[in-house]
Structure 1
């Protein structure tokens, strides 16, 4: 059985010093100064893509503009990776008892009490993940279950190669797919009332 990683160093600047099968906390995560980006899901270490592909960046940028423009003057805030979102089991769990910290491609937080200088502590209202070959399995499995368990109200999954956006909505604690939408479609958010996206603008000339 995996056990918490006991590290003596105050800073870790080489990822090879980590034990792949160990269980890490957010307190451990804060000691890491190496360049590689990583996430923790229930204490398990996941490496992130070294650099997103161009199509990923284009879609990310367009979604950021569209959602950001809609939110201008509103109380909700939009953030893009790298931005740490911690999921403690209990609201007041300290760093050494918090075992999940992820960096969604985009997230919207409407509760200011969840925001601090370190990022967000608790569930964003909406999360967007843009799939890449190295992270697709994690986004569709571990992160799907994580966001569902912790109450992220809407989870948007973008399939760049297919120009498809799938929206999951949290209903009675479980995600229900509202469908997969293609370039010709217009989508609305049930969490951010009034947000309407023309996917033609998001997927235009992507590829």
Structure 2
């Protein structure tokens, strides 16, 4: 398709390419992963770096162990999370993201294509080139769609910032780092010792 060829050239969201839906997204055959945020296409940067992968594995493993046998499930990227605004029809959904890690506690939100609706917890690990997307675009759609808790980890600085949804708006925590033990309000029993998590992160 000519449209697919044009889409494959996009490196930044460009308004003249129009707006797309999840129905469009399902028809694309692209080598790289993309996300759809409010109808605009965002390409993923190059493959995540080593520290990103180390952190993702550590945190996913902690969550998996805590959630074993419980109704909440942890999923790691690539995993499509559709965030409906008007309805759950594919044609009406204009945001499809692939968080690094997410926890979904409502089994009704899970289907064979991923998650439809807001996860309870999302963890994003910043990579060079995607900071603006994570900190601005995703912040907005996560807040609007009702993601209860949003964690942003900066591997190079060994820091963690937590946004908790209170009365429909995110409130930021202090900046956590080595020596801090952080607890989740959204996922019962989940806590991280950041000294252990950031060990061997250079």
**TM-score, structure 2 normalization:** 0.92
| Residue number among 119, 122, 134 corresponding to 2:117 in the alignment | 122
Where do 5+ consecutive residues of structure 1 fail to align?
Answer: 1-8
Paired residue for 1:71?
67
Structure 1 residue ranges (4+ consecutive) displaced by more than 2 angstroms after TM superposition = 9-21
Paired residue for 1:103?
98
Residue 11 of structure 1, CA deviation: 9.2
Task: Please report the RMSD computed on the Cα atoms of aligned residues, expressed in angstroms.
Answer: 1.8
1:1-36 CA-partner distances (Å, limit 9, x unpaired): xxxxxxxx4994774377943211111111111111
1:37–1:50: 8 Å Cα contact kept in structure 2? no
| Residue number among 165, 171, 174 corresponding to 1:176 in the alignment | 171
Q: Provide the rounded CA distance (Å) in 1 between the counterparts of 2:6 and 2:66.
A: 41
1:129–1:139: 8 Å Cα contact kept in structure 2? yes
Does the alignment pair 1:30 with 2:26? yes
Does the alignment pair 1:188 with 2:174? no
1:13-71 CA-partner distances (Å, limit 9, x unpaired): 77437794321111111111111111011101111112001111111111111111111
Paired residue for 1:52?
48
Q: Provide the rounded CA distance (Å) in 2 between the counterparts of 1:75 and 1:93.
A: 22
Paired residue for 2:83?
87
**TM-score, structure 1 normalization:** 0.90
Where do 5+ consecutive residues of structure 2 fail to align?
Answer: none
| Matched residues, number | 198
Does the alignment pair 1:16 with 2:8? yes
2:88–2:116: 8 Å Cα contact kept in structure 1? no
1:62–1:201: 8 Å Cα contact kept in structure 2? no
Paired residue for 2:156?
161
